[in-house]
Amino acid sequence: MKHVELESLIKSFLLFFISMTTLIVVIFYNTYTKELKTLDETLFAQMHICNFELKCDAFSMDFLKAESDDFYSLHKDAKGLSSIFPIPGSQEYSLEIRFSQASYEAKIEEIQQNTFTYFMIVMLVVILFSFLFSIYALFPLRNALRLTQEFIKDILHDFNTPLSTLRLNSAMLKKDLGENEKINRMEKSIQNILDLQENLRAYLQQHKSQVEKFDLKPMVEERLMMLEKNYPEIQFIANVPSVMLMTNKSALSRILDNLLSNASKYNKAKGRVEIVYDKNKELIIISDTGKGIKNPSRIFERFYKEQDRGVGIGLHIVKKLCSELDIKIGVESKVGEGTSFFLRIGAIHYKAIKPS
C-alpha cells in the first residue's frame, strides 16, 4: 500500500470512528443518567410498598419523631437513600425507610459495569464498520492512482523515441559544426527532459522495502564526477568519509542527484557546491553559493518554483523519497548567499535538522 493510500485509509478511519464514537458516547451517557434516575424511582417505589407491608429485607426502618411533614419524598445523604412516611393514627411519630449507601453504590456499580460492557461491544462493532468504510472509501483513490500511474508510464515510454532522436541529431550536429553554444543549450534542454523522466520514474517506484548496505563515499564521488563535466565553471568540494549506510541505494542516489543538480544549476558564476558528512550529527550536508531561496518552507510543494527553469516537481519528489526511506530533510537558505540541505538517514528522534 502506497504512502498516500495509507494516509487516506487512516484519515477515513479516524473520521468515521471519531464521528460514530462521539455519537455513541452521547447516547450511552444519556442512557446511563436515565438508568440512575430509573434506579432512584425503583427504590422509591419499593419504599412505598415497604411502608404498607413492613417486610423489606433490602431496607432498614426506624421510627422518628414527627418533626417534619416532608413525607413521600426521596432524600440522599452520606448514609444512603431515605424516605419518611406518616404512621396512620399517630401524630407523634413517623416511619423512616432507608436504603444503605453501600447497597446503593453496589447497584450503581452494577449499572456501570453493564453499561461499560455494552459500550465495548458497540465500540468493537464501530471499529469494524470504520475499517470497512475506510476500505470502501479507498477504492476510488486507488483507481485514480492506478490510472495516473498508467498514464505516466505511457508518457515515459513515449518519451524514449523522440529523446533518442534528439540526442542522436544533436551529436551529429556537434560532429559537423563543432562546439556551438546553441547546440550546447539544446543538449542541456534534452538533459532536463531526461532528468524529468528519471524523476517521474522515481515517483512511481516503491523504495522503502528495498534496503541494502553500501558505502556513501563512492556514490558521492560518482555523482560529482558527472556534474563536473556538465558544470566545469562550478567548484565541487566533497568531504565525505567511507561510511556504511542501510537504505535504498537508488532512491538515495536520486535524492542526491536532485539536490546536487539544483545546487549546480542555480549557482552563481564560478560558484561552489560542497557536500559534507558530519559523523557526530549523522548528517549529509549539501551547500552552495547560489541565488538562495525566497520561501524555503514552500520548496517541497508540488509545482512550486522560483526560477523560470524546471517544472517544480524535483524537490517534491525528493521529499516523497525521503518520507518513504525515513530520511529527515531540512533546509536553510539566504537570498543572494546560498542554500544548505541537511539529510539524516535512519533518525529515530528528530526535532530539527540544523547545524549548531
What is the distance between the alpha carbons of residues 197 and 158, in angstroms, rounded to a whole number?
11
What is the distance between the alpha carbons of residues 286 and 332, in angstroms, rounded to a whole number?
11
Burial letters 264-286, b for 16+ CB under 10 A, else e: bbbbeeebbbbbbbeeeeebbbb
- Distance, CA of 147 to chain centre: 25
Q: For the chain, which residues make up each domain, given as ranges?
A: 3-138, 210-356
Closest by Cα among 297, 292, 303, 295 to 196: 303
Cα radius of gyration (the chain): 38
Single pTM value for the model:
0.50
**Rounded mean pLDDT for each run of 10 residues along the chain, 356 residues in total:** 76 91 94 94 91 84 79 89 86 88 94 94 94 87 76 73 80 79 76 70 61 87 84 89 85 88 87 90 90 85 70 79 86 90 65 38
pLDDT over 70 for what percent of the chain?
89
Domain 210-356 in this protein, CATH class:
alpha beta
- Distance, CA of 112 to chain centre: 36
CB 253 within 8 A of CB 280: no
- What is residue 287's predicted lDDT score, i.e. its pLDDT? 93
CB 74 within 8 A of CB 83: yes
DSSP state of 310: S
- Cell 419523631 sits on residue: 65
